[in-house]
Amino acid sequence: MDLRTLGHGSLPLLAGAVVICLVAVAYAHAAYTPATAGHLLDGCLEELLPLFCGFTASTLLAGDQALELQASARRALARLALVRLGALLLLTLASGGVVYIAGVAGLGVIVPRSAPGELVLTVLAPALLLAALAFGASIAMRAAPPASTLILALVAAENIAPGSLSSGPLRWVFLFATTYTPHEPGWLVNRLVLLLGALALLALGAIAASRPGTALALAHGDSP
């Protein structure tokens, strides 16, 4: 029932993201080479779907009007957030699966990292990091829109300057390694660093969510 309390607001957004991915990959496949279409497919899996995940994660608690009731009950708010986040990640991965199967099996698109584990990490690592960042930011800033803006700015920055952000020490936290540097030897380490960073951010977010006053601030914009 926790998931039903989230409402259906994010489903049209997800459906829209999947449709955009499918149309873009189909167009690239028709107009360019399968490898170029594969590059675009990786971009969809690694950028567009995780961005959706991040946007939705900013509303996991912020904006939940019934949070005052939730916070007055025994169960920790962090648990509610984690259940919702888990469902959101599964939905994102399932959408990634649909896009991948349509692109590779349906159109014959070629992607550089096609092992099942690599595909999961391609979607999961940036999705979890953006979701954790958006979740933490929404609690820190007491609202979802600034948190969404923050992750949008991050995604934009990584696409504007991928060359400088995917080299040097920053390469370990570069979100889109599969899209821009798929053959670099540190790809797996990059994915693991992103996942660990996301877990650390989630832990901080969960601690912040459990503080008295947070629920009211998120539900009503109060400032305790």
Partner 1 sequence: MNVTLRDLTKHYRRGVTALDHVTLSFATGMFGLLGPNGAGKTTLMRILATLIAPTSGNAQIGAWSVSRRRDRAAIRAVLGYLPQDLQLYPELTASEMVDYVALLKGVNNSHKRRTRSAALLDVVGLTDVAGERVKALSGGMRQRVGIAQALVNDPRLLIVDEPTVGLDPQERVRFRNLLADLARERVVLLSTHIVEDIAQSCQQLAVLDHGHVAFRGTVAELTANAQGCVWHTHTQPPASATLVASMPTPQGTSWRTVGPPPAADATPAEPTLEDGYLALMTRKPRP
Q: What is the DSSP string of 118-168?
A: HHHHHHHHHHHHHHHHHHHHHHHTTSHHHHHHHHHHHHHHHHHSHHHHTSG
Q: How far apart are CA 111 and CA 40, in angstroms?
A: 9
Q: Classify residue 109 by its DSSP letter.
A: -
**Shortest approach of partner 1 to residue 145 CB, angstroms?**
19
Binding site for partner 1 (CB under 8 A): 1, 4-5, 7-8, 65-66, 68-75, 212-213, 215-216, 219-220, 223-224
Residue whose CB is less far from partner 1, 83 or 98: 83
Q: How far apart are CA 202 and CA 158, in angstroms?
A: 22
**Shortest approach of partner 1 to residue 160 CB, angstroms?**
37
**Shortest approach of partner 1 to residue 213 CB, angstroms?**
5
**Both tokens of residue 14?**
């997800």
Residue whose CB is less far from partner 1, 46 or 64: 64
Quickly count: other Cβ atoms within 10 Å of residue 153's Cβ.
Answer: 10
Q: How far apart are CA 130 and CA 148, in angstroms?
A: 9
Residue whose CB is less far from partner 1, 63 or 112: 63
**Shortest approach of partner 1 to residue 2 CB, angstroms?**
8
**Residues 13-40: b if buried by 16+ CB within 10 A, e if exposed:** ebeebbeebbebbbebbeeeebeebbbb
**Shortest approach of partner 1 to residue 135 CB, angstroms?**
20
Residue whose CB is less far from partner 1, 31 or 73: 73
Residue whose CB is less far from partner 1, 9 or 86: 9
